[in-house]
């Protein structure tokens, strides 16, 4: 396969993808058919990936093809599935063993999935009358359909009819599920403004789990000063950090796009809060990533043709505790500033340097090589090392026994 020009296909007309492919000397697949198989590298939408892996499609990927999603990625990236899997995983774990490993589950705000858990939600809602909740469609993105809730009656927005607190079930107007979470109303503020973090994680294999974390990312800032004033509860420029929303603010700047580099944020936290606090924050963020991935390890269809680059959205509260907001299967590759373009261009470049080292499909030997750093990516977790260690220990103990 070496020295052979790979053929690429992309469902996205994004310069950071196309420039990467072109710079590698790869050629564009000329087959115009959506379901064509004349490609080696495909940056696909989640829907096309689902079609490709649908047994009815009759499509079978060959050894010279690689695609950017796992077949049932939604187990992690749909908000309702993510919550379901994390709750299930937590129930399954032995608390002591997990805590001994230094991991915890305390990063997901109390969340209910509608319509199924509506009655549970109502119970909790009444228990915490001063609590603000955030309502999100399970499968949408870019902040669409999200609103803050303080009164049950506000659910009329999604029910289509009047909703009262003594109702035991909720019939939604549309067929989509919603997730309702306790709103983190004490976010960490910088310059008085709320922000969240976008961080990138690459999974090249689920069984065994291999996770890479990218060293660049950014904080997405709101344009308005944060307030818990009830009068501003519907002001999305105060509460929702999505760039898709903030770009419509009068105060939006084309120059920085409200994006604050993660390096700057790390430096700020370390300088203003101290090294220990910073280190704990990073450890907690890594815990979120690993725990969430582990929670779907058993359910994700691990296919050798697949890899996936996730966009993790994480919110820090005023105590520097990170909370998981959501995980994106197709994090935006739109670039809003030159710095943003540079970041995403290098990100995609590094992804392909990992999944196709030297522009070639790695054999088993190459896959087992213990490379821990490629470009901006570092290995966060490699389960195969654990397995190897356990095998070595077993061999060792057998030796000793003999």
Nearer to other proteins, 225 or 366 (CB): 225
Question: How far apart are CB 381 and other proteins at their closest, in Å?
Answer: 23
204: CB partners within 8 A, 6+ apart: 210, 212, 307, 354, 355
By the rule CB under 8 A, 193 interacts with other proteins: yes
Stretch that binds other proteins, among 39-47, 105-113, 155-163, 219-227 (CB under 8 A): 219-227
Stretch that binds other proteins, among 96-104, 106-114, 251-259, 383-391 (CB under 8 A): 251-259
Contact by Cβ (8 Å): 231, 244:
no
Phi-psi region of 71 (alpha: psi -120 to 50; beta: other; left: phi over 0): alpha
Nearer to other proteins, 219 or 376 (CB): 219
Question: How far apart are CB 146 and other proteins at their closest, in Å?
Answer: 23
What is the chain's percent helix, strand, coil content, to nearest 5? Answer: 40, 25, 40
Question: How far apart are CB 329 and other proteins at their closest, in Å?
Answer: 27
Stretch that binds other proteins, among 42-50, 72-80, 163-171, 186-194 (CB under 8 A): 186-194
Stretch that binds other proteins, among 137-145, 189-197, 280-288, 386-394 (CB under 8 A): 189-197
Contact by Cβ (8 Å): 312, 199:
yes
Residues in the chain: 402
For residue 230, count other CB atoms closer than 10 A to its CB.
10
- Options 337, 346, 353, 384; binder of other proteins; rule CB under 8 A: 337
Question: How far apart are CB 118 and other proteins at their closest, in Å?
Answer: 39
Is there a cis peptide before residue 93, judged by omega within 30 degrees of 0?
A: no
Stretch that binds other proteins, among 135-143, 164-172, 298-306, 338-346 (CB under 8 A): 338-346
Question: How far apart are CB 145 and other proteins at their closest, in Å?
Answer: 28
The distance of Cα 302 from the centroid of its chain, to the nearest Å, equals 18
Task: Give the whole-angstrom CA distance, residue 221 versus residue 242.
Answer: 8
For residue 198, count other CB atoms closer than 10 A to its CB.
21
By the rule CB under 8 A, 26 interacts with other proteins: no
- Options 22, 244, 264, 371; binder of other proteins; rule CB under 8 A: 264
Q: Which of 104, 127, 124, 129 is nearest to 114 (CA)?
A: 124
Stretch that binds other proteins, among 80-88, 177-185, 249-257, 389-397 (CB under 8 A): 249-257
Nearer to other proteins, 253 or 335 (CB): 253
By the rule CB under 8 A, 190 interacts with other proteins: yes
Query: Scanning residues 267 to 306, which ones bind other proteins (CB under 8 A)?
Result: 267-268, 270-276, 278
By the rule CB under 8 A, 259 interacts with other proteins: yes
The distance of Cα 24 from the centroid of its chain, to the nearest Å, equals 27
Contact by Cβ (8 Å): 301, 312:
no
Contact by Cβ (8 Å): 204, 307:
yes
Task: Give the whole-angstrom CA distance, residue 27 versus residue 71.
Answer: 25
Question: How far apart are CB 191 and other proteins at their closest, in Å?
Answer: 4
Task: Give the whole-angstrom CA distance, residue 316 versus residue 293.
Answer: 20
- Options 339, 360, 367, 385; binder of other proteins; rule CB under 8 A: 339
Binding footprint of other proteins, residue count (CB under 8 A): 30
Q: What's the token pair of residue 214?
A: 């990218």
Contact by Cβ (8 Å): 280, 321:
no
By the rule CB under 8 A, 227 interacts with other proteins: no
The distance of Cα 237 from the centroid of its chain, to the nearest Å, equals 22
By the rule CB under 8 A, 338 interacts with other proteins: yes
Residues lying near other proteins in the complex (CB under 8 A) are found at 190-193, 195, 219, 221, 225, 253, 255-256, 259-261, 263-264, 267-268, 270-276, 278, 337-339, 342
């Amino acid at each position: 396969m070496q020295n052979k020009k790979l053929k690429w296909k992309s469902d996205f007309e994004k310069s950071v993808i196309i420039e990467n492919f072109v710079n590698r000397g790869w050629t564009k697949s000329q087959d115009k058919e959506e379901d064509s198989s004349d490609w080696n590298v495909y940056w696909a939408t989640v829907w096309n990936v689902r079609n490709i892996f649908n047994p009815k499609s009759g499509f079978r990927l060959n050894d010279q093809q690689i695609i950017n999603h796992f077949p049932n990625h939604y187990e992690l990236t749909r908000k309702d599935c993510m919550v379901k899997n994390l709750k299930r995983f937590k129930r399954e774990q032995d608390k002591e063993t997990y805590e001994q490993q230094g991991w915890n589950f305390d990063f997901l705000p109390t969340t209910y999935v509608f319509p199924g858990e509506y009655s549970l939600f109502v119970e909790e809602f009444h228990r915490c009358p001063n609590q603000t909740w955030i309502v999100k469609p399970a499968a949408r993105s870019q902040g669409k359909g999200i609103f803050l809730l303080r009164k049950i009656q506000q659910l009329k927005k999604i029910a289509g009819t009047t909703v009262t607190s003594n109702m035991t079930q909720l019939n939604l107007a549309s067929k989509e599920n919603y997730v309702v979470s306790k709103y983190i109303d004490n976010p960490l503020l910088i310059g008085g403004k709320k922000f969240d973090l976008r961080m990138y994680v690459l999974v090249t294999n689920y069984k065994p789990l291999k996770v890479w974390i990218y060293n660049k990312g950014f904080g997405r800032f709101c344009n308005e000063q944060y307030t818990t004033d009830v009068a501003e509860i519907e002001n999305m420029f105060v509460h929702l950090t999505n760039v898709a929303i903030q770009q419509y603010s009068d105060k939006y700047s084309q120059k920085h796009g409200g994006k604050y580099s993660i390096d700057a944020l790390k430096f700020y936290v370390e300088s203003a809060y101290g090294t220990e606090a910073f280190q704990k924050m990073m450890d907690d963020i890594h815990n979120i990533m690993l725990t969430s991935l582990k929670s779907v390890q058993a359910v994700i269809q691990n296919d050798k043709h697949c890899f996936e680059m996730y966009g993790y959205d994480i919110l820090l509260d005023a105590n520097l505790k990170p909370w998981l907001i959501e995980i994106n299967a197709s994090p935006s590759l739109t670039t809003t500033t030159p710095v943003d373009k540079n970041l995403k261009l290098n990100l995609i470049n590094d992804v392909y340097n990992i999944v196709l080292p030297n522009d070639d499909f790695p054999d088993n030997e190459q896959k087992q090589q213990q490379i821990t750093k490629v470009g901006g990516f570092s290995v966060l977790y490699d389960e195969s090392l654990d397995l190897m260690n356990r095998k070595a220990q077993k061999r060792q103990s057998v030796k000793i026994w003999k």
